[in-house]
Amino acid sequence: MPDKPPQAGIDHTQWPDILEDVRSIVLPALTHWQSPGFFGYFPANGSWPAVLGDLISTGLGVQGMLWQTGPAITEVETRMLDWMAHLGGLPDRFLSTGAGGGVIQGTASEATLVAMVAARHRFRKAHPHTNPGTLVAYTSNQAHSSVLKATRIAGIEHLRLIATDANHAMDTEALRTKINEDLNAGLTPFYICATAGSTSSGAFDPIDRIAAVRAEHCPDAWVHVDAAWAGSATVCPEHRWFLEGVEHADSYCTNPHKWLLTNFDCDLFYIADRANLIDAMSVTPEYLRNSATDSGEVIDYRDWQVPLGRRFRALKLWFVMRHYGAEGLRAHIRQHVAWTEWLERQVLADDRFELAAPRSLSLLCLRLTGDRDHETKALLEAANATGRVLLTHTTLPDADGRERSTIRVAIGGMGNTFESVQALWQLLTELADAATSDAT
Ligand SMILES: *Cc1c(COP(=O)(O)O)cnc(C)c1O
């Protein structure tokens, strides 16, 4: 590409040139997230109903910072978040019809941050003389990096990464011990982030036990549940068990933009008592004053998020739900879980490989058997070098607590098929054979 922008514009007859440039310059330099062979990170789902919703949102060119600046933007969003709460079996306390409610955030990272800000606000209101420098946040050592980022942005000085158990879930006795140590040292626990489906291995922190520790030792602390990836699976009743205890959480989030057919960006953030958030975030300059806001009877979603402005993102969710229905969404999740179960059976039956963590929904973490970290890493690189698949890695502690090289297989991309999962397994076994014969 030229290093300076063009001086003269073009007319519509020259548009094919731009598209040709997209084809020749951009496409070859992309990671193809929608490819059948994409099993990296977590998926970035999209679907044509969602794309249409986004297109209409963009075409309407509206801005939903306040109820007054486009009432339907707010009203449709509120209804969609209530629909999604019903669909995922969330407790009624998160519905907009009570004291709670939901909002679309751009990302789970923003949800974690605004929950932290609301938590601090609520805490300091109850304890106005608390020194802000003593506030402590807790999450597990498997939690997403966005929790650390949120503490940095919010200026929280203490973050404890709590030890995890053999399944990589938060050890609540370790949480209890740490909270008590901190209390004894004059510090102030105010926020606990539980992860439902960790990024590395899909581990589920026990929300009910975390809430019980909170109730016992620091009842004014906030519990936020980050179900960014796994939350999509709760549209299936059989995949809701990991939400046990969520009725004690103060907030919850999940990303349909990962695994629920809705293109980026779309994070659903729910709060049990919306007043905490609005109180913490609301600032009204004269130029935004209006009679609807003053009436106190409408939602102004700008008070629920970091930015002021907001797109009409609820349209894409509405379209997805109308197009697929609850049954279609369940079928989407169930096929991916079934393919992952198939892959799990292959791994368990093959003594060249072992699981590095229990299968979590549609995420499988595996490695070569024995003390072969180097070969596991080489196998992953060799698989990616074929250009046929994309896998990403992590490290997970083994039974002796040693961090071991691990291949993550995240199924659930729009392009994935049972055939592409079978082809992945074929490739991995071929490469494992090559790795073994190299070694001998
Ligand atoms: C992907 C992920 C995130 C970050 O998601 P964004 O929406 O990109 O901020 C946070 N937490 C968990 C557990 C995740 O898997």
**Spacing, Cα 350 to ligand 1 middle (Å):** 32
**Spacing, Cα 341 to ligand 1 middle (Å):** 24
Question: Which of the listed residues 199, 254, 259 should we mutate to test ligand 1's pocket, taking the one with most ligand atoms within 8 A of CB?
Answer: 199
**Spacing, Cα 362 to ligand 1 middle (Å):** 16
**Among protein residues, the one whose CA lies closest to atom 2 of ligand 1:** 228
Asked whether 143 and 193 are in contact (CB, 8 A), the reply is yes
Residue 230 maps to which CATH number? Answer: 3.40.640.10
Residue 288 confidence (pLDDT): 82
Task: Determine, yes or no, domain membership for 29.
Answer: no
The minimum-distance atom of ligand 1 relative to the CA of 144 is 11
For ligand 1, residues with CB inside 6 Å are: 42, 107-109, 144, 146, 195, 198-199, 226, 228-229, 255, 267
The minimum-distance atom of ligand 1 relative to the CA of 111 is 9
The secondary structure of residue 204, as a DSSP letter, is B
Task: Write out the chain's pLDDT in tens, 440 residues.
Answer: 999 999 999 999 999 999 999 999 999 999 999 999 999 999 999 999 999 999 999 999 999 999 999 999 999 999 999 999 999 999 999 999 999 999 999 999 999 999 999 999 999 999 999 999 999 999 999 999 999 999 999 999 999 999 999 999 999 999 999 999 999 999 999 999 999 999 999 999 999 999 999 999 999 999 999 999 999 999 999 999 999 999 999 999 999 999 999 999 999 999 999 999 999 999 888 888 888 887 888 999 999 999 999 999 999 999 999 999 999 999 999 999 999 999 999 999 999 999 999 999 999 999 999 889 999 999 999 999 999 999 999 999 888 888 999 999 999 999 999 999 999 999 999 999 887 666 55
What tokens were used for 273? 């008592």
The DSSP bridge pattern shows strands 267-271 and 251-254 to be antiparallel
The alpha carbon of residue 165 and the mean position of all alpha carbons in its chain are separated, in whole angstroms, by 22
Residue 287 confidence (pLDDT): 81
**Spacing, Cα 188 to ligand 1 middle (Å):** 26
Report how far residue 253's alpha carbon sits from residue 242's, in angstroms, rounded to the nearest whole number. Answer: 14
Residues 6+ positions from 257 with CB-CB distance below 8 Å: 44, 45, 263, 264, 265, 266, 267
> Residue 155's CB: how many other CB atoms inside 10 A?
10
**Spacing, Cα 42 to ligand 1 middle (Å):** 9
Report how far residue 183's alpha carbon sits from residue 190's, in angstroms, rounded to the nearest whole number. Answer: 11
Residues 6+ positions from 77 with CB-CB distance below 8 Å: 64, 103, 104, 301, 313, 314
Task: Determine, yes or no, domain membership for 409.
Answer: no
Task: Determine, yes or no, domain membership for 417.
Answer: no
Residues, the chain? 440
Residues 6+ positions from 248 with CB-CB distance below 8 Å: 207, 208, 211, 214, 215, 223
Percent of the chain as helix, strand, coil, to the nearest 5: 50, 15, 35
Domain of 158 in residue numbering reads as 52-320
**Spacing, Cα 435 to ligand 1 middle (Å):** 33
Predicted TM-score of the model (pTM): 0.96
User: Which amino acid does the sequence have at 421?
Assistant: V
**Spacing, Cα 256 to ligand 1 middle (Å):** 11
What b/e readout covers 96-133, taking b as 16+ CB neighbours within 10 angstroms?
Answer: beeebbbbbbbbbbbbbbbbbbbbbbbbbeeeeeeeee
Residues 6+ positions from 245 with CB-CB distance below 8 Å: 206, 207, 208, 209, 210, 211
Task: Determine, yes or no, domain membership for 174.
Answer: yes
Residues 6+ positions from 199 with CB-CB distance below 8 Å: 42, 142, 144, 228, 229, 394
Task: Determine, yes or no, domain membership for 17.
Answer: no
The minimum-distance atom of ligand 1 relative to the CA of 257 is 7
The minimum-distance atom of ligand 1 relative to the CA of 109 is 9
**Spacing, Cα 295 to ligand 1 middle (Å):** 36
pLDDT tens for residues 1-23? 999 999 999 999 999 999 999 99
Task: Determine, yes or no, domain membership for 151.
Answer: yes
The enclosing H or E element of 403 equals strand 403-410
**Spacing, Cα 398 to ligand 1 middle (Å):** 24
Report how far residue 264's alpha carbon sits from residue 278's, in angstroms, rounded to the nearest whole number. Answer: 25
Report how far residue 188's alpha carbon sits from residue 158's, in angstroms, rounded to the nearest whole number. Answer: 10
Task: Determine, yes or no, domain membership for 43.
Answer: no
**Spacing, Cα 343 to ligand 1 middle (Å):** 24
The minimum-distance atom of ligand 1 relative to the CA of 198 is 13
Question: Which of the listed residues 41, 107, 112, 146 should we mutate to test ligand 1's pocket, taking the one with most ligand atoms within 8 A of CB?
Answer: 146
Task: Determine, yes or no, domain membership for 406.
Answer: no
Please state the domain count of the chain: 1
**Among protein residues, the one whose CA lies closest to atom 5 of ligand 1:** 108
pLDDT tens for residues 210-237? 999 999 999 999 999 999 999 999 999 9
**Among protein residues, the one whose CA lies closest to atom 4 of ligand 1:** 108
Q: Minimal CA–CA distance to 201: which of 360, 329, 431, 432?
A: 360
